[in-house]
Structure 1
C-alpha cells in the first residue's frame, strides 16, 4: 500500500487531464455543425483489502460519452423533412402564383380585350377596322395562352432538372454514409466496443443532410452501423452497402422525370411519386402532381372550351360574303396519349376525342388492359377507379367509359391489346400550346345571322315575328334541304306554309312543347317559340286571317350583327365545368385555386419551420455545447488536476521522509 497514495494521485491527474482534453474539444467544436457535446465517464478503481477494510485505489476514465438522444434526433429529422418538403413546394408554386395572379400578365385582361373586339363588331358589323381589331385581339389572346403555357413548360423542365439534381445529391450523401458505416465498424471493433464519437457525429450530420433531400428511416445495428430506408421501405444504405437511385424518364410519359432504384441487372425499378413523403424530393414531386399538372390541364381545358363553344356559335353565322361561318379558332386536338415504355406488347392504339368540353376535368387518366376483355380507367387526380368487361376489347372499352361519370371525352380502340398494356391519357394538356386563330381575313368573321324573318306590311292583325335564331346550319348547308323563302299564313287559328321535310316543335311561354308533323300546319299560340330545321322564332300578338310571315335567307345582311351579339354573350355564358362556369370565371377559379394553395402551403411551411426550430432547440439543449458550462468544467478539472498533483506531491514527500529514516 506504500505507493497507493501516489497511484491515486496519478489516477486523479489522468482523469482531470482527460476531462480537460474533452472540455477543450467541446469548446473548439462549439460552432461545428452536427457536433454533439462529449463528457468523460469516470469510475473507481478496484479497492485493496486490508485488515482494516477496503482502501480505494483512485479513479479511472471508463469512456468518453456523446450527448445523444435518439428520440430527440428523430424528432428533428421528422420536422426537418416536413419543412423542406413544404418549403420546396412553396418556392415552386409561388412562381405560378406570381404569373397567374398578376392582373397584367394573367389571362383575364386578354379575355376581356378579345370580347371587347367582338362587341366592336357587334356594334358596327360593316366596319372592316373593327373586324381587324377583333382578329388582333384574338391573336393577343392566343399569345397570352401560349406564354402562360410556355412558362409552365419551363417550370416543368426546371422541376425535372431539380429532381435529377436531388437524386444525385442523395446518392452522393448515401455513399458517404456507407463509407462512414465501414469506418465506424472498424473503429468500434478496434476500441473493444467504445464508440468513435466524432465519426458518429459526422454520420448523423450526413443523415440529416440526406433527410433534408428525402425522408429517411434508420435502424441501428449492433456493430455500430445504421441501415437507411427511403420511400416506401426501399433500402438505400445497409451497413457499408449502398444502393443507387436514378432519375429517369417515366414509362408512361418520357417527358416526365421519375425516381427509380437501380437493380442488380442495371435497370431501374420505377418508384411511384407517392412512395416519397418529406424532404425536397417529395416537395418537387408533389408540386408537379398536385399543382403544375392541374394548372396546365386547366389552362388547356379553358383553351378547348373557348375554341369549341366559340367555333360552334361562329359557324351558325354568316360572313360579309354571305357565306356560312367557318371555324374561327383552329380546332384543337389537345389530348396526348402515351403508351407505356418499353412499348406495350399488343398492337392497340387509343384515340380520345373530346365529346363535351363542359364535362372535362383537369385530371390525367390511366387506361390499362388488366385482363382478357377487361379495361381499367383511373382518374389520377383522386385515384378514382372504374373497371368493366365486355364481349371484346372494344366492348370492354365502351363499358368502362359508360361506367365512369361523364369525363368529357370518348375513347376508340384500334388494334389488339395485350394484357398489361397501359396508356396515359392527358385530355387537355397540350391544348393551350395548340390554341390559334384560324382566320386572318376580317371579312370571314360571321357576324350576321344566315336567316331573316319579317311580317308582311299589309297584314291586318297586330301580330309580330321575332328575328330568327339558328341552332344548326345543317339544313342550310349546300345542297340546301330547307326550302326558303317560306311564307307562313295564318288562317282560322292555324299557321301553314312550313317547308316540307322538317318536323315542327311549338313551345309555349309556360314551357309546354308540342310536336307537329313536317310541313304543318300548327295551332297558333300567342308568344310560343316555333322551331324547325335548326331555326326558331316567336310570333306574338293577334293575327288576322290571311296575315303572312316570311322566313328567308339573309344574303344581303352585311350590316346584320345578330350572330356577333350571340358571340359576345359567350363571355358570360356558363359553358364550362358542368355548364356552371363562364370563360372568365373558370380562369378566376383556376387562379383562385393556385392562390389558395400557395397561401396554404406558405402558412403550413411557416408553421412547420417553427416546429423544426423547436425540435432543434430541444435536441441542442441536450447535445449542444454551452460555453458557460464548459468554462465551469475547465475550472473544475483544473482544480481537480491541481489537487491530484498535490496528492502526488504529498506522496513524494512522505516517500522521501521514509528514505531519510532508513539512512
Structure 2
C-alpha cells in the first residue's frame, strides 16, 4: 500500500506540474503573463521502528517567477514611453502641416509678394491689381486654414483627455477591486490574478505616469507622476475634466474624491495624458502664437505701407488687411467688473508670449504665463495713457478687485481672423500720394529721386511745397529756413522726404505736390513689394521672411527632438522588457524540456503504480493457495 500511495502521489504531483507547464505554453503570447513554476517537496516519511521510509513527493507551491525590481523598471519606462510617443505623434502631425508644400505658409506667402512685385511693374494694370487681391485672399485664407487646423488639434487634445479620464477611472476601479480580492497576503492569491493586477497597473501608469507601491505584500497603491493618489488599497479615485479658469473651451484633468475636485498639476502629468498636455503647452500654443505674430506683423506692416500710398481714385490708401485685436480672457474667479481692451501698439515688440495681468494692492502687474517672470509695463491704463506691455496697449474700464487676473494673448488665434479689407482693385494704393518735379529754369545738376512718404498721417502731406536752394549748401522749404544741405542727405517736410542726385545751384527750385487720380506711379507698390524683407519683428532684428522660416524651423525642431526622445525611450523600454522577460517570460525551449522531463517522471510514477498492483496481485494469489 505504501508503494501504491507513493506512486499515486507522484502521479498527481507530476500531473499538476504538467498542467502548469501547459498553462505557461498556452500563455506565451499573453501580454503581462508571468510564467509559473511548480516546487516539489518530499512528503513526511513513515517511522517503522527500524528507520524512516519515504512516502514520495508532493506539490509544495506554484510560484510566479516575478522580479519586482524588473517590473518596477518596466512600469517606469512604459509611462515615459507613452508620454513621448504621444508627444512625438502630435508634434509630427504639426510639423507636416507647416512643412508640406500643399499646406504650408511659405508658398502662398511668396505668391502674394510676387504679385505685388508684378504690380510695381505695371501699377495701373487691372489684371495685376486683381491678381494682388486674389493672392492676398489666398494668403489670408491660408492663415485661417492653418489656424483652423491648430484649433482642431486643440479640440483633439480635449477629446483625448475626456476619453483618458474615463479610462483612468475604470482602470483605477479595477485595480482597487482586485486589491480587495487579493487581500492582505498576495502570496496566497492566484498567480493569474496577480498578473491581471500588474497589467492593469501598467495600463494605468501608461495614462498618467507615476508609481505603484506594494503595501506589506498585499494591495498595490498607484500614484500619478504629480503624487496624487489614483488607488489606495481598495479605494479608487475618480478622474474627470474641468474647464480651464481662463479659457473655458479647454479641459484639464482633475481628481474627484471626498466631495472635492482637485485640478491636477498639468505640468507634472506623465504618461499619454502628460504627453497631450505637454504638446498643447510647449508645441501647439507657441506655434499658434508665432503664426498669429507673423500674421499681425505682416498685416500691420503692409497696412502702414499701404496707408502711405494713393489709389486710382486719388485717395490715400486705407487698411489693406483686417488686423484682429489681441485676446484678453478674465479669470473665472474674478470678483471685480473690470474689463480690458487691447490693441497692437508696437509690432516690433510683439513676442506672442501669453501674459497674466494681475491687480493687487500695488496696482497692476504683468507676468509671463508660463514662468511667472515679471514683464515691464508702463502707463496708467486710461484711454489717454494706456498700459503698454510687450507691444500691446491696454485700456482698463470698470473696477478691478484685489486678486483679479486676466490672461492676455497678444497673437494667439490672430491668424484665424485675418482678412482682406478691400475688394475694389482700384483701391490698391500703388502710387505715392505726392510727386516731385524740378523747375525748368534750374541750372544745377540736381535731380529729385528717392521720394517717399514718412508720415502718412501728416495733415500737410498733400499740400504743395517748394524747395528752393540759396546755394549748393543751403535750402528753404516754402520760405522756412534756411537749412544746411549736404549732398546725398534727405530733405524732409510735411510727412515726406526726398533725395537729390547731383549738385543744385543757387535759385534752383523743386516742387513736391499731390499726385493725380489714375496715376500709373509705382512708387508705393515698389516699397510694398519689399516689405517681406523688412526687419519689423523681434525688436527690428528679424524680417518677415525670417519669421516665416523660423516658424517652420521651430516646429520641425520640436518634432525631431520628440521623435529622437521617443526612439531613445523605446530602446530603454525594450531593455526593461527584456530584463523582465528573462525572469518572468515564457521560454518555449525551456518549457519543452520541462514537459519532456515531467512526462518521463509521470510515466515512471505510473510504472510504480503498476508495480504496486503486481505486488498486490502476488499477495492475493498467495492467500488463495
Work out whether the TM-score is over 0.5.
yes
Aligned to 1:521: 482
Structure 2: unaligned runs, 5 residues or longer: none
1:488 aligned residue (467, 475, 485): 467
* 1:495 to partner: Cα distance: 3.4
* Alignment pair present for 1:357 and 2:339: no
Query: Is the 8 Å Cα contact of residues 484 and 499 (structure 1) preserved in structure 2?
Result: no
Query: Which of 300, 310, 318 is equivalent to 1:318?
Result: 310
Distance, in Å, in 2 between the alignment partners of 1:36 and 1:294 is 45
Match of 2:319, SS state, is: coil
Residue 385 of structure 1: aligned partner: 373
The answer to whether the aligner puts 1:258 opposite 2:246 as a matched pair is: no
Cα gap change, 1:491/1:362 in structure 2, threshold over 3 Å: closer, same or farther?
Answer: closer
Distance 1:175 1:483 in 2: 78
Q: CA deviation at 1:280?
A: 1.7
Aligned 1:321-400 pairs, distance under 5 A: 321-333=313-325, 335-341=326-332, 343-369=333-359, 371-373=360-362, 375=364, 377-380=366-369, 383-386=371-374
Do the aligned partners of 1:340 and 1:423 also contact (CA within 8 Å) in 2? yes
Verify the 8 A CA contact 1:393 1:417 in the aligned structure 2. no
Which stretch of structure 1 is more off in the superposition, 74-83 or 292-301?
A: 74-83
8 A contact 1:374–1:387 mirrored in 2: no
Q: Which residue of 2 aligns with 1:470?
A: 453
- Correspondence for 2:190: 196
SS in 1 for 2:253: strand
Aligned to 1:101: 99
How far apart, in 1, do the equivalents of 2:610 and 2:108 lie?
94
Backbone CA RMSD of aligned residues: 3.0
Distance in 2, Cα, partners of 1:388 & 1:152? 30
* Shift of residue 140, structure 1, vs aligned partner: 1.4
1:122-141 paired onto structure 2 within 5 Å: 122-141=120-139
Shift of 1:413: 3.0
Match of 1:594 in 2: 555
Q: Is the 8 A contact 1:210 1:216 kept in 2?
A: no
**TM-score, reference length from structure 1:** 0.86
Query: d(CA) in 2 for partners of 1:492 and 1:623?
Result: 100
Deviation at 1:351, TM superposition (A): 3.1
The question of whether the paired residues in 1 share the 8 Å contact of 2:83 and 2:274 is answered with: yes
Question: Mean Cα displacement is larger for which, 630-639 or 640-649?
Answer: 640-649
Check conservation: 1:346, 1:421, Cα contact below 8 A. yes
Q: Cα offset for 1:527?
A: 1.8
Alignment correspondent of 1:450: 433
Distance in 2 (CA, whole Å) between partners of 1:29 and 1:496 is: 99
SS of the equivalent of 2:335 reads coil
SS in 2 for 1:16: helix
Report matched runs for 1:55-66 at 5 Å.
Answer: 56-66=54-64
Which whole-Å CA distance do the structure 1 matches of 2:618 and 2:111 have between them?
Answer: 111
In the alignment, does 2:223 pair up with 1:229? yes
The answer for unaligned runs of 5 or more in structure 1 is 501-518
Cα 1:357–1:54, aligned 2, differ >3 Å: closer, same or farther?
A: farther
If the length of structure 2 is used for normalisation, what is the TM-score?
0.91
Matches within 5 A, 1:252-651: 252-265=246-259, 268-277=261-270, 279-333=271-325, 335-341=326-332, 343-369=333-359, 371-373=360-362, 375=364, 377-380=366-369, 383-386=371-374, 407-475=390-458, 477=459, 480=460, 484-492=463-471, 495-499=474-478, 519-555=480-516, 558-647=519-608
Secondary structure of the corresponding residue to residue 468 of structure 1: strand
Q: Retained in 1: the 8 A contact 2:205–2:224? A: no
Offset, 1:313: 0.9
CA contact (8 A) 2:252 2:263 kept: yes
Secondary structure of the residue aligned to 1:134 is helix
CA contact (8 A) 1:452 1:467 kept: no
State the 1:651 CA deviation: 6.1
CA distance in 2, matches of 1:563, 1:254: 45
Q: Matched residues in 2 for 1:246 and 1:434: separation?
A: 33
Q: Is the 8 A contact 2:476 2:483 kept in 1?
A: no
Counterparts of 1:251 and 1:120 in 2: how far apart (Å)? 49
Partners of 2:377 and 2:482 lie apart in 1 by 50
Where 2:30 maps in the other structure, the secondary structure is coil
Distance 2:137 2:603 in 1: 90
Q: How much does 1:453 deviate?
A: 2.2
**C-alpha distance in structure 1 between counterparts of 2:129 and 2:610, whole Å:** 110
CA deviation profile, 1:402-440 (whole Å, cap 9, x unmatched): 8xxx72224343333333322222111121111011111
When residues 52 and 531 of structure 1 are mapped into structure 2, their CA distance, relative to the original with a 3 A threshold, is farther
Deviation at 1:540, TM superposition (A): 4.5
| Mapping 1:82-97, distance limit 5 Å | 82-97=80-95
Shift of 1:557: 6.9
43-52 or 254-263, which moves further after superposition? 43-52
Work out whether residues 528 and 540 of structure 1, in 8 Å CA contact, stay in contact via their aligned partners in 2.
no
Worse overlay, 642-651 or 440-449: 642-651
Which of 147, 164, 167 does residue 166 from structure 1 map onto? 164
Query: Which residue does 1:243 correspond to in 2?
Result: 237
1:463 Cα offset (Å)? 2.5
The structure-2 alpha-carbon separation of the partners of 1:362 and 1:55, relative to structure 1 and needing over 3 Å to count, comes to farther
CA distance in 2, matches of 1:582, 1:4: 98
Whether the 8 Å contact between 1:376 and 1:385 is mirrored in structure 2 is no
CA contact (8 A) 2:358 2:364 kept: yes
- Measured after TM superposition, the shift of residue 129 of structure 1 is 2.5
Q: CA separation in 1, counterparts of 2:263 and 2:178?
A: 28
Question: 2:475, 2:485 within 8 Å by CA — same for their partners in 1?
Answer: no
- SS of 2:481 mapped into structure 1: coil
